[in-house]
Amino acid sequence: MRPVATLYNEKLKAFPESLWQQLVEFQERRQNYLGEVFCYQVRDKTLEVQNRKLSLSGLNIPKVAVPRFESWSEIVRWLGLENFPGEFPYTSGVFPFKRENEDPTRMFAGEGTSERTNRRFHYVAKDQPATRLSTAFDSVTLYGSDPHRRPDIYGKVGNAGVSVCTLDDAKRLYSGFDLITPNTSVSMTINGPAPTILAFFMNAATDQQVERHLRESGRLESAKKTIAARWQSQGIPAPEYRMEVPDGNNGLGLGLLGLSGAELVDAETYGRIRDEVLQNVRGTVQADILKEDQAQNTCIFSTGFAMRMMGDIQEFFTNYRVRNFYSVSISGYHIAEAGANPISQVAFTLANGFTIIEYYLARGLSINGFAQNLSYFFSNGMDPEYAVIGRVARRIFAVALRDFYGADERSQKLKYHIQTSGRSLHAMEMDFNDIRTTLQALYAIYDNCNSLHTNAYDEAITTPTQESVRRALAIQLIISRELGQAFNQNPLQGSFLIEELTDLVEEAILSEFVRLSERGGVFGAMETMYQRNKIQEESLLYETLKHSGELPLVGINTFLNPAPQTEDEEIELARSTEDEKQWQIRDLEHFQSFHAETREKALDQLRKAALHGGNTFAALMDCAKVCSLGQVTQELYQLGGQYRRNM
């Protein structure tokens, strides 16, 4: 009989080398987490993190708890399905640790004019170590229109979002925030007219730095005089900040109101500044036209032309090395708000993402050139599946990007923003809404979301007030800064329930992929309105169970208030004022009149790009300097066609 050692060595030689390497690295990585300090690399920076945090009781709480497996089979299985945070398949997170000097806070704001929203931005950003702004636009802007006195438009100007129709609006909206610093990022929830709004934003960011250049070279006051003289020569009042500048706004971005920085410095200087801005600006534009067709309904251009413009944005980003701004936020939030359950939300969203990847690849773009510019946006809720949607999405995405597309490590990492459910907010017993939002925020933070918006309790009936926004922000700050379990950054790993839920949700999503494939993929399914019908069926089920009481909702169909709120009790509603509407229309007319002579040349360049295979977004970057949103939209209708739903 051969010695055991001989048998052992023979079996060891047959062991796959990659698997053996994993086992060795597992032991090394585990020891790294058990030590005092963990070092890891992010791009060209080496970061050091203390592995433990001291509780008031004097215990050292691990920031990342590691498994105690010794069995090789258990270790290999865990590495394949879970692994450490920041390691493939990124089930527990795409980074080894969270940033300790930055909460995942990203609060959604938008109301009235750009000045009023700018005031709200400075309020929610006050005393925050990082500035994360999230912009809500009014329905006039969402549909690519300009403010107008027409009754069907006038009443919507600045309501339920901010009105933005010119470059000057964008400059005022983000004034006082340095848009190219590493700790500032801006998210814009806009889809149909997203290319134009994005062009406004990029121009506003560029003009901030032109303004800084002029100030540092002692020429800013001269530039302001040039702008004033230009407007005065046409007999039109120059644009200005139309309210008192809020606390915290240092005026950056307001110095060049009325004129593009391209007209105030030489072409070489402007090009250098623009390129620097594009390479450093951080943020996200939603620009997901697929979920608009399936759920939210703010499509304005034909689907093919809208996809073409999405591709043009990404191509522009690739050419100008825009690496820190996400060209699309592939969104499940609106799918869920329209009624989809968490399985359908994630399945449709990931499928839309893979469809966008296939389209970009078909345009000749490199997977590693654009995959890192993709981000995702999910809704949260009370269902058990919501506890693991981030884990499942990261795992499916990582496997697909590595094994099917051959993408590099950075491209395999799915990063997502999550927002607590608006559909779970109720006008009855509104004070209970904060409780629901708190529980949903727990789901999100424990699942290692990359950023989080917590809804205000009064959003069931109105744009949130300053008081309700403060409460909503406090929810996630209390969890992140006070709750002891949040000292740990992988609290879900090792739970029998979480592992079972993760596998069940992943299997259900993959089954939905099969159903989509059987219908010709995402576009084929859209042709027969499969996604819309499924969302409606799931919404009907929710409403039926809610009304029958089978789905208990506290304060709605159970635990009812014996003394409900009477109709005559007043509730503050946030609405844009008459002055704000008039300001927008007046300044729009002034802008259009001032740029009347230069507008046609810019639109002609857009026509040539659209009709002769050029990059429409590059042309929009110039149009944004002299055209209003509505003027660009009308031109694009002629070039690419308006949206028509397939019936």
Number of domains within the chain: 2
Tell me the per-residue pLDDT of 355-364, one tens digit each, with 9 for 90 and over.
999 999 999 9
Strand partners, 326: 284
Q: What residues make up the domain containing 46? A: 4-81
Mean pLDDT of 576-593: 97
Phi-psi region of 282 (alpha: psi -120 to 50; beta: other; left: phi over 0): beta
Tell me the per-residue pLDDT of 87-131, one tens digit each, with 9 for 90 and over.
999 999 999 999 877 666 677 789 999 999 999 999 989 988 889
**pLDDT value for 81:** 97
Tell me the per-residue pLDDT of 456-484, one tens digit each, with 9 for 90 and over.
999 998 878 889 989 999 999 999 999 99
**pLDDT value for 571:** 64
Is 125 part of a structural domain of the chain? no
**pLDDT value for 465:** 83
**pLDDT value for 466:** 84
CB within 8 Å of 106: residues ≥ 6 apart: 132, 133, 134, 187, 417, 451, 452, 453
Query: Mutual orientation of helices 433-446 and 466-481 as an angle, nearest 10°?
Result: 40
**pLDDT value for 10:** 79
Tokens 């005393």 belong to residue:
127
* Amino acid making up residue 319: N
Helix (H) or strand (E) holding 378: strand 374-379
Of the residues 56, 81, 106, the one at which a domain ends: 81
Is 644 part of a structural domain of the chain? no
Tell me the per-residue pLDDT of 586-645, one tens digit each, with 9 for 90 and over.
999 999 999 999 999 999 999 999 999 999 999 999 999 999 999 999 999 999 999 987
Mean pLDDT of 358-385: 97
Is 583 part of a structural domain of the chain? no
pTM as predicted: 0.95
Helix (H) or strand (E) holding 376: strand 374-379
pLDDT at 438 exceeding the cut of 70: yes
Is 267 part of a structural domain of the chain? no
173: pLDDT confidence band, cut at 50, 70 and 90?
very high
Contact 140, 157 (CB under 8 A): yes
Tell me the per-residue pLDDT of 60-89, one tens digit each, with 9 for 90 and over.
999 999 999 999 899 999 999 999 999 999
508: pLDDT confidence band, cut at 50, 70 and 90?
very high
HSE of 279 in the Cβ direction (CA atoms, 13 Å)? Answer: 9
Is 397 part of a structural domain of the chain? yes
Which of 344-353, 415-424, 550-559, 561-570 is predicted least confidently?
A: 561-570
Is 595 part of a structural domain of the chain? no
Mean pLDDT of 538-552: 98
Q: Which of 136, 142, 134 is nearest to 192 (CA)?
A: 142
Give the CATH number of the domain where residue 301 resides: 3.20.20.240
52-54 and 45-50 beta bridge pairing:
unpaired
**pLDDT value for 42:** 80
Tell me the per-residue pLDDT of 276-327, one tens digit each, with 9 for 90 and over.
999 999 999 999 999 999 999 999 999 999 999 999 999 999 999 999 999 9
Percent of the chain with pLDDT over 90: 87
CB within 8 Å of 418: residues ≥ 6 apart: 377, 378, 379, 380, 390, 444, 449, 451, 452, 453
**pLDDT value for 567:** 60
227: pLDDT confidence band, cut at 50, 70 and 90?
very high
pLDDT at 2 exceeding the cut of 70: no
pLDDT at 58 exceeding the cut of 90: yes
d(CA 11, CA 154): 78
Of the residues 552, 586, 614, the one at which a domain ends: 552
Tokens read off for 248: 């915290």
Of the residues 29, 49, 81, the one at which a domain ends: 81
Size of the chain, expressed as the number of residues it contains: 647
**pLDDT value for 647:** 62
pLDDT at 184 exceeding the cut of 80: yes
Contact 347, 512 (CB under 8 A): yes
**pLDDT value for 144:** 98
Is 171 part of a structural domain of the chain? no
**pLDDT value for 104:** 64
Tell me the per-residue pLDDT of 11-45, one tens digit each, with 9 for 90 and over.
777 778 888 888 888 999 999 999 999 998 887 78
**pLDDT value for 15:** 76
d(CA 29, CA 51): 12
548: pLDDT confidence band, cut at 50, 70 and 90?
very high
Distance in angstroms between the alpha carbons of the first and the last residue of the chain: 77
pLDDT at 1 exceeding the cut of 60: no
Percent of the chain with pLDDT over 70: 97
Mean pLDDT of 504-526: 98
464: preceding bond cis by omega (within 30 degrees): no
Is 315 part of a structural domain of the chain? yes
- Burial category of 28 from C-beta neighbours within 10 Å (exposed 0-12, middle 13-18, buried 19 and up): exposed
pLDDT at 573 exceeding the cut of 70: no
Q: Which of 421, 417, 418, 416 is nearest to 456 (CA)?
A: 421
d(CA 438, CA 443): 9
